[in-house]
Amino acid sequence: MLDFGMTIGGKSVAGDKTFDVFNPATGELVGRAPNATLDDLDRAVASAKAAFPAWAAKPDAERKAAVAALVAVLEENAEAIAHTLTLEQGKPLGGLGSRFELGGAQAWTGHTASLDLPVKVLQDNNEGRVELHRKPIGVVGSITPWNWPVMIAIWHIMPALRAGNTVVIKPSPFTPLSTLQTVALLSGKLPEGVLNIVTSDDQVANVGAAMSSHPDIGKIVFTGSCATGARVMKSAADTMKRLTLELGGNDAGIVLPDCDPNEIAEKLFWGAFINNGQTCAAMKRLYVHDDIHDAVCDAFVAYARNVKMGNGLDEVNVLGPVNNQMQFDKVASLVADAAKTGNVLLGGAPDEGLFFPITLVSDLPDDAPLIHEEQFGPALPIIRFTDVEEAIAAANASENGLGGSVWSKDVEKAKALALRLECGTAWINSHGGLNPVAPFGGAKMSGIGREFGEEGLFENTEIQVLHI
């Protein structure tokens, strides 16, 4: 059984109580995580606050090198962390699963370490010189979800450290173990107090809410649902915290009639079902032109029915279970409703435990909940359209605006349509791929701010303008 302590001030802290973490594939107990109190949170924040002045004062080149050195830590421990991740999250070890996630964590760490924070000269003439400096904020609080727990933790931690901040992170209670393991390893290569972690199921104390209102945390980075993001924003208002919120998506894909259904079926599948659909930027709605609608459905079903789902520790499987009962029940409810009014092409009936089969549903009415609510699981509505203007309007008729895609052999036409989508990221002939150089975040209710690249790094700084 796995047993990891919290890391506070560079030391392992067990906590007075623990909570259980279960394997969603088997229901078996994987391990126990410390159940932090508000006092534990205060100690972690105090430790980060005490470590901040020295870390912020380090020469930029030293912080850059310190973050770069963490790549090797992740690489050396990748297999052990991946195994923990599969046990608690359910995703497979291979394919686009836990090893893939650890590879992404290394790539994002390395790229973040390479970024610079130059002084920008705004004016330099006989009237004087004006410089823009970017300075660290202080203590950054990170709250992470259960779908990509290690990689999203890295997305939060590394730019904060690179900019000169210190960090307190709280992972989801469904997947705390891999983050505890990762932070303990990373913290060992950093000065004491620079990186801290607390874990809680929020039953003993609402640690997440306390973080977003904590007077000594200067910024919150949160990845999760729109509803929780709104609560974080409200709670942070009294202390004027800086915020980066990457929230839910209901991404639309639009397939134009010049596409070859057999050529795009595999890409459509992984655009929708990477991580079993439990990805904010996965495709959640697919609009297909009437001319090729049936052919796309046939090709999609033919590919999907051969994808193996099962226990992630079995290397033959490329998809795992839904991570938790709450999310499973939501998917099941949306699919049950869709089955009453639409045409279930594949799947539809829940399997044993938390395994839900890949489900494709066509010919749903426009007001179907499966179309308008983020399912965040292995179910996809396929919607017929005849007029591309109607498809664009339907894609934009959502309170979310995280991502979207257009599929066509005419790339220029697809580009023109993609630029009309009301979303933070648009793809052409693919969906959901992220890149550490490309800023990522949402429009509308899908959040505020950006992560990744220079823009993401800058969000971890305050601007100070110097007039000389």
3-state secondary structure 101-120: HHHHHHHHHHHHHHCCCCCE
- Are 325 and 459 contained in the same domain? no
Whether 410 contacts 257, CB under 8 Å: no
For the purposes of burial, counting CB atoms within 10 Å of the CB of 295, is it exposed (0-12), middle (13-18) or buried (19 or more)?
Answer: middle
**Total structural domains in the chain?**
2
For the purposes of burial, counting CB atoms within 10 Å of the CB of 352, is it exposed (0-12), middle (13-18) or buried (19 or more)?
Answer: exposed
Q: Respond yes or no: is residue 259 known to be catalytic.
A: no
Q: Which residue is associated with the tokens 């973040």?
A: 112
- Are 163 and 294 contained in the same domain? no
DSSP bridge pairs for 251: 283
- Are 423 and 454 contained in the same domain? no
Q: Supply the pLDDT for residue 203.
A: 86
| Closest among 322, 42, 18 to 173, alpha carbons compared | 18
Q: Supply the pLDDT for residue 74.
A: 98
Phi, psi of 375 (to 5 degrees): -80, -35
Determine the structural domain holding residue 168 and report its residue range: 2-247+446-467
Chain mean pLDDT for the chain: 97
> Distance between CA 467 and CA 464 in Å, rounded?
10
- Are 320 and 183 contained in the same domain? no
How many other β-carbons are positioned within 10 Å of the β-carbon of residue 209?
15
Domain assignment of residue 349, yes or no: yes
Orientation of helix 98-114 relative to helix 60-76, angle to 10°: 170
What confidence tens digit (pLDDT) does each residue in 205-232 have?
799 999 999 999 999 999 999 999 999 9
| Closest among 176, 212, 214 to 21, alpha carbons compared | 176
User: What three-state secondary structure class fits 210?
Assistant: helix
- Are 296 and 392 contained in the same domain? yes
Q: Respond yes or no: is residue 280 known to be catalytic.
A: yes
* Options 280, 423, 451, 459, the catalytic residue: 280
- Are 218 and 186 contained in the same domain? yes
* Options 246, 374, 451, 459, the catalytic residue: 246
| b/e map 426-445, b = 16+ CB within 10 Å | bbbbebbebebeebbbbbbb
User: What CATH number is attached to the domain comprising 294?
Assistant: 3.40.309.10
Domain assignment of residue 29, yes or no: yes
Query: Which stretches of 35-160 are assigned E, i.e. beta strand?
Result: 120-125, 128-136, 139-143
| b/e map 356-381, b = 16+ CB within 10 Å | bbbbbbbbbeeebebbbbbbbbbbbb
- Are 335 and 372 contained in the same domain? yes
- Are 168 and 275 contained in the same domain? no
- Are 348 and 422 contained in the same domain? yes
Q: Supply the pLDDT for residue 352.
A: 85
pTM above 0.95, yes or no: yes
Tokens standing for residue 130 = 């004006």
Q: Which residue is associated with the tokens 């790094």?
A: 457
> Distance between CA 175 and CA 152 in Å, rounded?
12
- Are 272 and 289 contained in the same domain? yes
User: What CATH number is attached to the domain comprising 79?
Assistant: 3.40.605.10
How many other β-carbons are positioned within 10 Å of the β-carbon of residue 151?
21
**What tens-digit pLDDT sequence spans the chain (468 residues)?**
899 999 999 999 998 999 999 999 999 999 999 999 999 999 999 999 999 999 999 999 999 999 999 999 999 999 999 999 999 999 999 999 999 999 999 999 999 999 999 999 999 999 999 999 999 999 999 999 999 999 999 999 999 999 999 999 999 999 999 999 999 999 999 999 999 999 999 887 799 999 999 999 999 999 999 999 999 999 999 999 999 999 999 999 999 999 999 999 999 999 999 999 999 999 999 999 999 999 999 999 999 999 999 999 999 999 999 999 999 999 999 999 999 999 999 999 887 899 999 999 999 999 999 999 999 999 999 999 999 999 999 999 999 999 999 999 999 999 999 999 999 999 999 999 999 999 999 999 999 999 999 999 999 999 999 999
- Are 46 and 105 contained in the same domain? yes
> Distance between CA 357 and CA 300 in Å, rounded?
14
| Closest among 364, 414, 365, 423 to 388, alpha carbons compared | 414
| Closest among 299, 305, 289 to 407, alpha carbons compared | 289
- Are 200 and 77 contained in the same domain? yes
> Distance between CA 216 and CA 234 in Å, rounded?
17
Q: What whole-number percentage of the chain has pLDDT above 90?
A: 98
Domain assignment of residue 433, yes or no: no
Which amino acid, 209? A
| Closest among 53, 73, 81 to 193, alpha carbons compared | 53
Phi, psi of 133 (to 5 degrees): -110, 145
Tokens standing for residue 166 = 């210190």
